Structure formats: C-alpha cells, structure tokens
Amino acid sequence: SASNMFEDLKSFHEYLSKSKRVLALCGAGLSASSGLPTFRGAGGLWRNHDATQLATPGAFEEQPDLVWRFYSYRRHMSLNAKPNAAHYAFAEYARRTPGFMNLSQNVDGLYQQANHPRDQLKLLHGTLFEVRCVSRACGYVEENFTDPIVPSLAIPTDKSDPTTKEALAEASKPKRKEVDIANAAVPISKIPVKDLPQCPKCKERMLRPNVVWFGEQLPIKTIDEIEEYLKEPEDVDLIIVVGTSAKVYPAAGYTTKARMKGARVCVVNMDTNDAPAGGWNKGDWFFQGDAAEIIPRLLQ
C-alpha cells in the first residue's frame, strides 16, 4: 500500500538524529485522541453547522450568540481535555532541540497544558483562551479561562421531569448532567447581545475569541517570527506535518516554504489521502495512524 512505501522508522530516526532545524505543522488530528473533534472529519458538525462555517466574521456578525455558544462549548471541552502523548512528546523534543519551532493551528490550549516551551510554540490561529474587543481601535485583549465566560453561556443541565427512576437518581446527584448542545435536536435559547461577553475597556462593544477566522490575517508577530526563522542562512532540515488536512492557507504553505529551504517532509495522518501541500516528493516519510501513538515513537 501507499503507506508502507513511506513508512520507514529507521531512516527517519537516522535523519532526525542529524537534524538541528526542525519545524512541525500541527492540526486538529493531533488533539483527536484527547477527545476533541476535528473540523473536516466526523464530529466536524456542530448543531448541523459545518464547524468551518461558524469560524467566520460573517457568522459572528449575524449570530453572535450562536458563534459564542460554539466557542464557549469548545472552551469547556478543551479545559476538560487532557494533552495526549503527542503533545508531551513534542514538548519534550522542543526542550532538547533549540532549533525546533512548532507551528500549531490548534486553538485548544493542550500544548500549553503539556508545558510546551512557549517561545518555540507559534499559535497560527490564536487561542480559545484569549478574548479581544471586536473593535480593533479599542484593542483590548485578555487571557481568560473562566468557564463559562458569562453566565448566559453556561451549558444547560438536564431539567427533565424526575419521574422515572433514572431521572430521579440523576436529579439527586450534586451536579446535574449537562445537555449535549452540540446536538441540533437539543433546544438552545437566543441570547441577547447585552448578555454576551462585553469589553471592559471601551464598554461599548462585544468581546470575541482571539482566534483567526476565514478572511482574517494571522497574528502578525507570529508570522514575522516564522519568516525570520525561514530567512536564516541555515537550511531547514525537516518539517513534520501532523494531523492536518493541509487545506487552509497560509498554514499549509509552510510545508512548501520549508521544502524551499531544503527540508524533508514527514507526514503523520490517519488518512492516506491527506497529502502535504504541494504533493509528495522523493525522500518524504508518511506514517499512517493516530498521532498520539506515532509521534512519541518518531521523537523518542
């Protein structure tokens, strides 16, 4: 099969041991085994909405409450998720490899939970755990881990009439079971804008998650730091592309940029069809499977 053709752990280890300047390009598949859904696979639907359709400025303008519910839900899920062996393996690898830079598209905060060295972690699409004023002129940004961020965004608990034995037992528990608001069949109420997170600085506008939506620019400082790294005279030895469908730009384009600096490409993905941007080259590696199993073996 195509996968066996590229799966060569021995040659990868040999090459990695000589590599000094290494990049990783990470996507949602890396956090899949931590229980967080990806965008374009199963679980990429939230209440019948395509997750990528909610990650747009237009969706937020039209239905700020729906988009805030989506992000509040994901903040809740991410805060309750644990980093997996791949997050820890990269964090460990970063500590022993000064020339390593991790370009992560993930906003879930699991690398931070795994204590990944912060200066080697570039958050291409921002983070769920910062919010900012929708007004660029105001410019307010804060770190925020409060769950729920405002009372109106609390995930409702099951208020079913406790007449059945099971429901009675459930209701007597100190904490009631949260309803699955990701399921479109579960009703949610409309939230007025005044009950959504408000900017404490200008006191005029709403706060929004500090993530990068379609059509928005990636954080300029982050982009500049990556460009600096790519501009250094030394070659880039390797880029490890893991758990990403590599369809979203400019992130996916870093594979090509690394190749232009001489890098060999190693792809780790569940799916044999998700090729790196630019397609396959001679000397590439492909390891098929769960990132949480494969990354620790690659980086050990």
- Which residues are known catalytic residues? 125
Neighbours of 293 (CB within 10 A): 14
Is 266 labeled as ligand-binding? no
Classified as helix, coil or strand, 132 is: strand
For ligand BJW, the binding residue among 269, 277, 287, 299 (CB under 6 A) is 269
Residue 204 in contact with ligand BJW, rule: CB under 6 A: no
Minimum Å gap between C-beta 158 and ligand BJW is 27
Minimum Å gap between C-beta 96 and ligand BJW is 23
For ligand BJW, the binding residue among 80, 247, 260, 262 (CB under 6 A) is 247
HSE (CB half, 13 Å, CA atoms) of 142?
Answer: 13
CA 23 to chain CA mean position, Å: 17
For ligand BJW, the binding residue among 15, 219, 270, 296 (CB under 6 A) is 270
Encoded one letter per residue, x for contact with ligand BJW by CB under 6 A and - for no contact, window 25-44 reads --xxx--xx----xxxx---
Which residues lie closer than 8 Å to 250 by C-beta, 6 or more apart?
218, 223
Is 26 labeled as ligand-binding? no
Neighbours of 254 (CB within 10 A): 26
Segment interacting with ligand BJW (CB under 6 A) among 5-13, 14-22, 223-231, 240-248: 240-248
Using CB atoms within 10 Å of the CB of residue 8, give its burial: 0 to 12 exposed, 13 to 18 middle, 19+ buried: middle
**Quick one: 21 or 126, whose CB is closer to ligand BJW?**
126
Tell which residue, 82, 130, 143, 85, has the closest CA to residue 110: 82
For ligand BJW, the binding residue among 214, 262, 283, 300 (CB under 6 A) is 214
Question: Does an H or E element contain 2, and which?
Answer: helix 2-6
Is 138 labeled as ligand-binding? yes
**Quick one: 272 or 300, whose CB is closer to ligand BJW?**
272
**Helices and strands in the chain, H and E counts:** 11, 11
C-alpha 138/C-alpha 123 separation (Å) is: 23
Minimum Å gap between C-beta 169 and ligand BJW is 35
Minimum Å gap between C-beta 193 and ligand BJW is 20
For ligand BJW, the binding residue among 67, 211, 238, 258 (CB under 6 A) is 211
Which residues, 110 to 129, sit near ligand BJW by CB under 6 A? 125
Asked if residues 246 and 276 have their Cβ atoms less than 8 Å apart, the reply is: yes
Residue 248 in contact with ligand BJW, rule: CB under 6 A: yes
Q: Which residue has the tokens 């500590």?
A: 95
The strand pairing partners of 131, in sequence order, are: 142, 209
**Quick one: 215 or 233, whose CB is closer to ligand BJW?**
215
Minimum Å gap between C-beta 41 and ligand BJW is 5
Sheet holding 22-26, edge to edge: 121-123, 100-104, 22-26, 238-242, 264-269, 285-288
Which residues, 133 to 192, sit near ligand BJW by CB under 6 A? none
Q: Which residues bind ligand BJW (CB under 6 A)?
A: 27-29, 32-33, 38-41, 52, 55, 105, 107, 125, 211-217, 243-245, 247-250, 268-271, 274, 290-291
> What residue numbers does the annotated binding site for Zn(2+) cover?
133, 138, 199, 202
